[in-house]
Structure 1
Amino acid sequence: MTKTQTDTPTQITCSVHCQGYDWGPANLKIVIDFGQVIDEQVDASFFEVLGEKEGFDWSTKMPKQIKGKIELKEAYLSDSTGQKQPVNLPTTFVTLALQVHPDAPLTSPFVFNPQLFLNQKRQTMHTITLKKPLCINGSSLNELVLTNQQFEETIYEGTEQFLQKEFLYVDAEFGEITLHHALFAPNTKGKHPLIILLHGAGEGGTDPEIALLGNKVVAWADPEVQAMFGGAYLLVPQVPDMWMNDGSGGYTQDGTSKYTRAVSRLIDETV
């Protein structure tokens, strides 16, 4: 006979895994560590996920709170990274694979800031409810509600391959300019091409991970893409606002940029 466990085990933790898509970043899975071996297979019927976050209404150009249910594609036993675990191997992890879409703001780790006209990191506040008993370590866990108190981190997949740094340039016309940037180096010897990837209008700021995920830049570091070049360096500069700022603070009308000399020097020093 299994024991009944009604209190939430204190050792349960969660992590959110985010990935860049062609249309932007999304939280594709939540990995739950129950801290004890799970005694049965699971599926999406075991869990419900609700979300709430700050958003932006393009019709009114105003911030708004967004809340609702996040649909699950599936749920399964996994390892700590969210990879499916073979049936015969014990594990303490369950992964919830989320339905993602460009028009699903609750699975986006970004929110648009209309004052800055930039995307910024704003993670969803998740509430995960166990909908039916789950057998764990010989006991039946009948009730469970996980909130952001149990969430440890967001893992931005692929960004760990890039070195993130700052570059200070003193421009004769515009003074000190700081460019944050990310750099990927191939793990092969000899000469290799350097690819410079410039972000879009909404990916400026001081966090290169926004530039890496907003345009799926991390895909350039994938082995199959790297193989096409025989290995390539990737430089991802990030300006504080937008590339087409001519120094006036707004979008230039003639195509000039106050950052031209700074990014040129950054490229030279990277080489």
Structure 2
Amino acid sequence: MKKMIVLLFLAALFVSLNGVFATSPPTNGEYGVVIEGYDWGPAVSKVILSLEEPVTSANWNDYQVMVRRSSDCSAIPDGQVLGSRRIVNGYVSDAEGSRLEEGNHITLVLAVAPNQPIGSPIQYSQTEGCSGNNWINYEMTIRDEAKGMLWNEEVNRVMPIIDQFDLSGRFSHENGVTMSYASYSPESDNEEHPLIIWLHGGGEGGVDPSIPLVANRAANYASDEIQAIFEGAHVLVPQSPTRWMDSGGATTSGETDDIYYKAVKALIDNYMSRHRDVDRDRIYLGGASNGAYLVLKLIIEYPDFFAAAFPSALAYQGAYFSDSQAERIKNIPIWFIHAKEDGTTVPDQTVVPVYNKLMKAGAPNVHFSFYDHVVDITGFFGGDDYRYPDHWSWIYSHANEARRDVDGSLVKLHGRPATIMEWLAGQSK
């Protein structure tokens, strides 16, 4: 009975919202959207309305925003297809959403939250042939109830930080592997700059390198805040066509070679050959889950190449990490991040034995932030009382919030407490 009531409610909502979407638009029905990255992923945070005449004020209480999410590929749960967006502010702006005293656009600021999937322009799916995170159709209909105006044609998309990346990268290796990649270069100043490499998790593979940047906020390594710590850094984000742990149709956790590590190393070398300002002594390698597996694999294979590593939610099985490998990489600075209740990459099978073997080998500069749970670090959604999936420990890396070692002490650089990015920037071969 309860299920029938829910189905009837959804049917009524569908009919109601279809009426909104079917309304004929006026001549000025064009809009743009702003998509921003958050700890939990991306959300449409603003909608920018085009006007025929300039205005000097915006009464945002007069507007209503409705959304339809659809995809020919990803499976979208019924309750996440249609819905309304709550408006929290509005102002006169330009076409990119920047505030103006007078302009031909109105920007509406929309509420976003980790438990509001109706705000997301991507969808995680396990549909065959469309697994992982993918962009979806995100159709909006905006009404000015006071003036009877309507906008329903998207003509512009602004993605802060991501728009600073070159998304056109393609690299083919002699072993037959071809990868897409995103890259960011700091302004040229005749100085050398470090290179930060990020290896995505299992849900961000494919051929669209914007997905590794937006699905879990990896683009933040090009943010003003993190770039200031490094005084400008290159950022390179390769994308696996399948998954980094692919050993040729099967999945490896360290027991056999994957098919990608040589190609990724060759891609890094290729990037450095084309960017002569990269500091060869400051190559930093990070990754999450599937990508953290490849971080460990790469530093094992090329221990003299990387200046430091920062893997989170490590997927490399500790049983396949030998004492001799620990000796091989013990002098590489490493900062592990993991959550104790991670059920995907179980710490007692992955990061804990790897860390213990490094400590046994006498590693002098290895740290381990081991969280009870992955929680809301902003405080906006409940702080410690709001819990993300415990596999999402990369949140602390992207937001530069990791500060403590496994014993609870603050990690220090030159005698002073340091965040993970401050520590990373201080490492050099």
Partner in structure 1 of residue 114 of structure 2: 102
8 Å CA contact retained: 2:32, 2:95: no
Partner in structure 2 of residue 46 of structure 1: 62
Change (3 A) 1:161 1:63: closer
Q: Could you tell which deviates more after superposition, 12-21 or 216-225?
A: 216-225
Partner in structure 1 of residue 222 of structure 2: 221
Structure 2 stretches lacking a partner, 5+ long = 1-23, 273-429
Q: In the TM superposition, what whole-angstrom CA distance separates every residue of 1:200-242 from its partner, at most 9, and x where no partner exists? A: 2211111111111122222222233212112111110001122
Q: In the TM superposition, what whole-angstrom CA distance separates every residue of 1:86-141 from its partner, at most 9, and x where no partner exists? A: xxx32111011111112222211101231242111113211111111xxxxxxxxx
8 Å CA contact retained: 1:200, 1:215: no
> Within the alignment, does 1:123 sit opposite 2:137 as a pair?
yes
Q: How many residues align?
A: 240
CA–CA distance in structure 2, aligned partners of residues 11 and 69 of structure 1: 21
2:162 equivalent among 140, 159, 162: 159
CA shift, 1:155, in A, is: 2.1
TM-score (normalised: structure 2): 0.53
> Within the alignment, does 1:18 sit opposite 2:35 as a pair?
yes
Matches within 5 A, 1:141-180: 142-147=147-152, 150-164=153-167, 165-171=169-175, 176-180=176-180
Indicate the structure (1 or 2) with the bigger Cα radius of gyration.
2
CA–CA distance in structure 1, aligned partners of residues 140 and 75 of structure 2: 23
> Within the alignment, does 1:67 sit opposite 2:75 as a pair?
no
CA shift, 1:253, in A, is: 4.0
User: 2:53 is paired with a residue of what secondary structure?
Assistant: coil
Change (3 A) 1:71 1:205: same
The one-letter code matched in structure 2 to 1:179 is M
CA–CA distance in structure 1, aligned partners of residues 229 and 253 of structure 2: 37
Q: Relative CO higher for 1 or 2, CA cutoff 8 Å, sep ≥ 6?
A: 1
8 Å CA contact retained: 2:26, 2:150: no
User: 1:34 is paired with a residue of what secondary structure?
Assistant: strand
* Greater fraction strand: 1
User: 2:266 is paired with a residue of what secondary structure?
Assistant: helix
Structure 1 stretches lacking a partner, 5+ long = 1-6, 56-60, 133-141
8 Å CA contact retained: 1:21, 1:216: yes
CA–CA distance in structure 2, aligned partners of residues 8 and 247 of structure 1: 51
8 Å CA contact retained: 1:113, 1:119: yes
> Within the alignment, does 1:205 sit opposite 2:216 as a pair?
no
The one-letter code matched in structure 2 to 1:161 is Q
* Greater fraction helix: 2
User: 1:37 is paired with a residue of what secondary structure?
Assistant: strand
User: 2:70 is paired with a residue of what secondary structure?
Assistant: strand
> Within the alignment, does 1:91 sit opposite 2:96 as a pair?
no
Change (3 A) 1:228 1:71: same
CA–CA distance in structure 1, aligned partners of residues 157 and 116 of structure 2: 18
CA–CA distance in structure 1, aligned partners of residues 69 and 223 of structure 2: 31
TM-score (normalised: structure 1): 0.82
CA shift, 1:29, in A, is: 0.3
Matches within 5 A, 1:184-263: 184-187=184-187, 188-248=189-249, 250-254=250-254, 256-263=257-264
CA shift, 1:160, in A, is: 2.3
> Within the alignment, does 1:35 sit opposite 2:52 as a pair?
yes
Partner in structure 1 of residue 124 of structure 2: 112
Q: In the TM superposition, what whole-angstrom CA distance separates every residue of 1:52-97 from its partner, at most 9, and x where no partner exists? A: 1137xxxxx9543411111111122122221222xxx321110111
Change (3 A) 1:200 1:253: closer
Change (3 A) 1:197 1:144: same
Partner in structure 2 of residue 58 of structure 1: none
CA–CA distance in structure 2, aligned partners of residues 193 and 206 of structure 1: 26
Identity of aligned residues (%): 30
